[in-house]
Structure 1
Amino acid sequence: MVYFIKEMPHEERPRERLVKHGAKSLSTSELLAIIIETGTKEESVLDLSKRLIYEINKANDLSKVTYHELIKIKGIKMAKATKIVAAIELGRRLNLESKQAPTKILSDIDIYTLVYDDVKNLDQEAFFAVYLNTQMEVISVENIFMGTLNQLLIHPREIFKRAYQLSASSIILVHNHPSGNSLPSKQDNYITQNIIDVGEILQIPILDHIIIGRNEYYSIRKQKRSKL
């Protein structure tokens, strides 16, 4: 016997609850149950969803799970795995598109909020440039580099070349510290000053460099750490 959502009591079915109360009222496992639709001979679709999330979170993160990781889990075969991966990728793309609307930067927290979703699950450093127009509106958020920051790899040429292409008036730099500690290293300060110096020559100012940690961020311009 394979367990289906339709075999659950009507008031407990995720689909019906979504229609009545909205998607935000559902747990992650309930949303996943709607996507995969069926359980197994041993488990209901909801129990399978809960176990799947538990097993993935032990070694990875649901938002980063791959097809090959999914099919190793008992009860998950090609059909279910491809639905899950497709749903995750769709969510990622929609989130990216929503950031393409003009966003005005008024404070440090605006930059943190803008980039946080892109770095929160990363286990390595990622370096971003946020390009702004004269109204302090975001033109584009560009991932410049992934990996351990090094002045030989973070070259100002790439950052400012893109600024000219976008007709950007200014730039804010952002990168994450997977360790969770947002305090800048000597290398961070060196790289920042190097890019600032080039920006002054090219008359495209670097307004700040925000380092994102765990529930905190650091503004190199203000030399201040902010807890969240």
Structure 2
Amino acid sequence: MIKDWPEHERPREKLLHQGANSLSDAELLAIFLRTGVKGCHVVDLARQLLQQFGSISAIFAADRFSFCQKQGLGLAKFVQLQACLEMSKRYLAEQLPEQTALTSSVATRNYLIAELRAEHNEFFAALLLDSQHQIIGFERLFSGTLDSATIYPRVVVELALKQQAAAVILCHNHPSGVAEPSVADQQITQRLIDALRLIEVKVLDHIIVAQHQSYSFAEHGKL
């Protein structure tokens, strides 16, 4: 029983005294689970789940059926986890700076990573900004296997005009986990820069999300 452990080893007490970043993945998951199952305390259950899924990210990305069929989980915990994930996304969105350029912003990257890292398919999206680089909105535009034939500049241009955007940050994810841009990624970026330039909308960056990693076209001088 965890209540019989020394206080400094119990996940909740450890978090309160040392901070959340001092906890292992299993200890964080144990706090979320709250209780174990018969013959298995909650920390061991958390370790088993991490081994079965492979990582915390994989648990977050699991569909309802895959999640609920595991011992110690279920529909209530699936709903609770989805609510926690959505709150995290909204928190990160609120942390985006409102008055400064966002090309190298850690907050922007964290927000885009939270939005796209768990997706199994590729998504192409745009973060729309006004003339002061305040955020207007975030829109997912295309999905599937993305190449120069499946990204339509006209759609991006129409969105920018509709939202009266003055600048955009383009983004898409690589489910493979490799953040480096392909030749097709570079071609798509240039086509969109050229198309948006015609309506005087500036592309500030194109960020590729690959799980917890990201790649910035602007920081690598590719814009």
What TM-score bracket applies, with the shorter chain setting the length?
0.7 to 0.9
* Partner residue in 2 for 1:81: 74
- In the superposition, relative to structure 1, how do residues 163 and 216 fare at CA in structure 2: closer, same or farther (>3 Å)? closer
Which amino acid in structure 1 is aligned with residue 182 of structure 2? P
| Residue 101 (structure 2) aligned to one of 105, 114, 127 | 105
Amino acid at match of 1:128: A
Give me the whole-angstrom Cα distance separating, in 2, the residues matched to 1:34 and 1:210: 33
Q: CA separation in 2, counterparts of 1:123 and 1:51?
A: 23
What corresponds to 1:90 in structure 2? Answer: 83
TM-aligned CA deviation for residue 198 of structure 1: 2.4
- After the TM superposition, which of the residue ranges 11-20 and 132-141 deviates more from structure 2? 11-20
Question: Cα offset for 1:17?
Answer: 2.8
Q: How many angstroms does 1:89 deviate by?
A: 1.4
For residues 99 and 16 of structure 1, the distance between their equivalents in structure 2, rounded to whole angstroms, comes to 26
Alignment CA distance shift 1:61-1:166 (3 Å): same
Equivalent in 140, 144, 148 of residue 147 of structure 1: 144
Residues 72, 125 of structure 1: alpha-carbon distance in 2 compared, 3 angstrom cutoff: same
Which residue of structure 1 lines up, in the alignment, with residue 115 of structure 2?
Answer: 118
1:202 pairs, out of 179, 195, 199, with 199
Aligned to 1:219: 217
- Structure 2, unaligned runs of 5 or more: none
Q: Which has the higher contact order (CA 8 A, sep 6+)?
A: 2
**TM (normalized to structure 2)?**
0.77
Q: How does 1:46-65 map onto structure 2 within 5 Å?
A: 46-57=43-54, 61-65=58-62
Would you say 1:162 and 2:163 are equivalent positions? Answer: no
- Give the structure 1 partner of residue 181 of structure 2: 183
> In the TM superposition, what whole-angstrom CA distance separates every residue of 1:105-153 from its partner, at most 9, and x where no partner exists?
3534655444233333444322121211212233322222222113443
Structure 1: distance between partners of 2:146 and 2:124: 8
- Cα distance in structure 2, aligned partners of 1:143 and 1:87: 25
- Deviation of the 1:48 alpha carbon: 1.0
Distance 1:109 1:182, change over 3 A: farther
- The answer to whether 1:70 aligns with 2:67 is yes
Give the letter for the 2:222 counterpart: Q
Identity of aligned residues (%): 29
Matches of 2:210 and 2:35 in 1, distance apart?
39
Contact kept? 1:108, 1:219, Cα under 8 Å: no
- The question of whether the paired residues in 2 share the 8 Å contact of 1:182 and 1:218 is answered with no
Shift, 1:169, TM fit: 0.7
2:33 is matched with: 36
Paired residues, number: 216
> For residues 32 and 190 of structure 1, do their structure 2 counterparts lie closer, same or farther at Cα, with a shift above 3 Å needed?
closer
CA distance in 2, matches of 1:83, 1:9: 30
Task: With the length of structure 1 as denominator, give the TM-score of the two structures.
Answer: 0.76
Once residues 13 and 149 of structure 1 are traced to their aligned partners in structure 2, the CA distance between those partners, rounded to angstroms, is: 46
Q: Distance in 2 between matches of 1:218 and 1:34?
A: 35
CA contact (8 A) 2:113 2:214 kept: no
Deviations 1:78-120 (A, max 9, x none): xx42343233212321222124334233534655444233333
Which secondary structure does the structure 2 equivalent of 1:210 belong to? strand
